[in-house]
Amino acid sequence: NLEELRGSLAAFAAARDWDQFHTPRSLALALTGEVGELCECFQWRGDAACAPGLPGWTDADRTHLGEEMADVLMYLVRLADRSGIDLPAACAAKLERNGQKYP
Amino acid sequence: NLEELRGSLAAFAAARDWDQFHTPRSLALALTGEVGELCECFQWRGDAACAPGLPGWTDADRTHLGEEMADVLMYLVRLADRSGIDLPAACAAKLERNGQKYP
Amino acid sequence: NLEELRGSLAAFAAARDWDQFHTPRSLALALTGEVGELCECFQWRGDAACAPGLPGWTDADRTHLGEEMADVLMYLVRLADRSGIDLPAACAAKLERNGQKYP
Amino acid sequence: NLEELRGSLAAFAAARDWDQFHTPRSLALALTGEVGELCECFQWRGDAACAPGLPGWTDADRTHLGEEMADVLMYLVRLADRSGIDLPAACAAKLERNGQKYP
């Protein structure tokens, strides 16, 4: 649940006095860093070795990829929160727009 | 709710026969593209003009930023789904690890 | 020549009074935006349609890709300049390190 | 000199039999990874701590930033080479277009 995640991350940051660092532009740069780490998981494998479901990947590879995905999600949720953007509402609006754009 | 979003995006793609395009590496590249668009919202403003809550931003600017955030979220959720990664579980595990790492 | 490019970009920005916007963090975000546009050129094609030399691409596709690559290069050179980093020297040092790392 | 760098990187990859990995999409993902590492150098500092010239940064911080910039440059040059794009020519064309766009 995105709203629960938002609350957890806000509490986590507040307890560590991190709000001073978690400005929108800093979080956008941190998000870019995490997306870069996510891309590194895929970079040298080729499409054939990255078929849907990632069949040949080890459990360690999968766990690592999941961690990078989680980092991206957490910085995105935190960035939305610190920007005053309602991410679930923005997502619902975008889904509706996509439905109109690609009927 | 991330699981509902995953299901909606999977149904949307299946109905349009997009699974053939939505391979993990293609989605990672698409995610990068959306993160780039998100960063463009912040690039020329400076920290002062991007204070928490983005106080001086117009409604149009906020709507645009929300759309870019939604795009990032949707490609991330879709990438996790097509990779066979349980994003909510990966996120819960990462939150617990972060709690141990920064007690 | 990277040094000539650095000088051209510096003169171009100075003549338009853009130094006020070209701070290191703003340029890092702009660089991310351009890398996102570059990735969009490749995102829906798959490895097979992106073989070395990009054999099936139209001239327009190639020109577009070249423009995105140029944008990435120009923001990188500008970022290095505004950060006070000697990019050619940093590159020479990294090449030497790579030679030691992968003998 | 970009052409020399292109040649050096091509020879380096050929000598290690890396052309099989250096496909355009793989290099685009690797480029994203390096841009992410570059952004990490700036993420938690704020604009004030990243003034032009990066005055308060240590020599080690600067060397690290230079390495990340070099990595971005090298993957970009390699990506252009493997894509069959003449990066210096693309850059010259883009500079001319920018001059017309922002007279």
Q: Which band of pLDDT confidence, cut at 50, 70 and 90, is reported for residue B72?
A: very high
How confident is the model at residue A81, as a pLDDT? Answer: 98
Instruction: Give the model confidence (pLDDT) of B5-37 as tens digits.
Output: 999 999 999 999 999 999 999 999 999 999 999
User: C68 and C43 in contact (C-beta within 8 Å)?
Assistant: no
How confident is the model at residue C86, as a pLDDT? Answer: 98
Instruction: Give the model confidence (pLDDT) of D67-95 as tens digits.
Output: 999 999 999 999 999 999 999 999 999 99
Handedness of CA A58, A60, A61, A66 (dihedral sign): positive
Could you give the CA distance from residue C26 to residue C15 in angstroms, rounded to a whole number? 19
**Distance from A49 to chain B by nearest Cα, in Å?**
10
Q: Which amino acid is at D48?
A: A
Domain C2-101 class in CATH: mainly alpha
Interface membership of A14 toward D (CB under 8 Å): no
The three-state secondary structure class of B27 is helix
Interface membership of C51 toward A (CB under 8 Å): no
Chain B residues touching A32 at Cβ < 8 A? 35, 39
Over chain A, what is the mean pLDDT? 97
Instruction: Report residues of chain D scoring pLDDT below 70.
Output: none
**Distance from D17 to chain C by nearest Cα, in Å?**
12
Chain D residues touching B47 at Cβ < 8 A? 46-48
Instruction: Give the model confidence (pLDDT) of A9-35 as tens digits.
Output: 999 999 999 999 999 999 999 999 999
In eight-state DSSP terms, residue B25 is H
Q: Which amino acid is at B18?
A: W
- Is the reported ipTM for this assembly greater than 0.95? yes
How confident is the model at residue C51, as a pLDDT? Answer: 96
How confident is the model at residue C67, as a pLDDT? Answer: 98
Could you give the CA distance from residue B93 to residue B86 in angstroms, rounded to a whole number? 11
pTM tops 0.95:
yes
